[in-house]
């Protein structure tokens, strides 16, 4: 079994690319489910967007913390 050095994967702060990818995934999922949501007011659209951003930020932060807690494999 091949062992990898995880130190190059650990970032103290989530990188912009990871955050951007997460937001793009969230937006595409919202677009796919928009028909089921029906018509939304501008306020509801903004609330959903805010929820998506906060959720992606939180998940990205948690993943970063998990990767940081893994011991480096020599």
Residues 6+ positions from 3 with CB-CB distance below 8 Å: 73, 74
Residue 74 included in any domain: no
Residue 21 included in any domain: yes
More confident residue, 26 or 41: 41
Residue 1 included in any domain: no
| Nearest CA-CA partner of 20 in 63, 57, 68, 65 | 57
What is the predicted pLDDT for the residue at 15?
A: 60
Cα separation, 39 vs 37, whole angstroms: 7
Instruction: Say how many domains are in the chain.
Output: 1
What is the predicted pLDDT for the residue at 5?
A: 46
Whole-model pTM: value is 0.59
Residue 14: enclosing H or E segment and its boundaries?
A: none
Full domain range(s) for residue 52:
8-69
């Amino acid at each position: 079994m091949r062992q990898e050095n995880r130190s190059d994967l650990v970032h103290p702060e989530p990188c912009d690319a990871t955050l951007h990818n997460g937001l793009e995934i969230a937006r595409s999922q919202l677009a796919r489910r928009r028909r089921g949501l029906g018509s939304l007011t501008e306020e509801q659209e903004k609330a959903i967007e805010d929820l998506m951003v906060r959720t992606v930020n939180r998940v990205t932060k948690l993943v970063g913390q998990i990767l940081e807690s893994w011991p480096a494999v020599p």
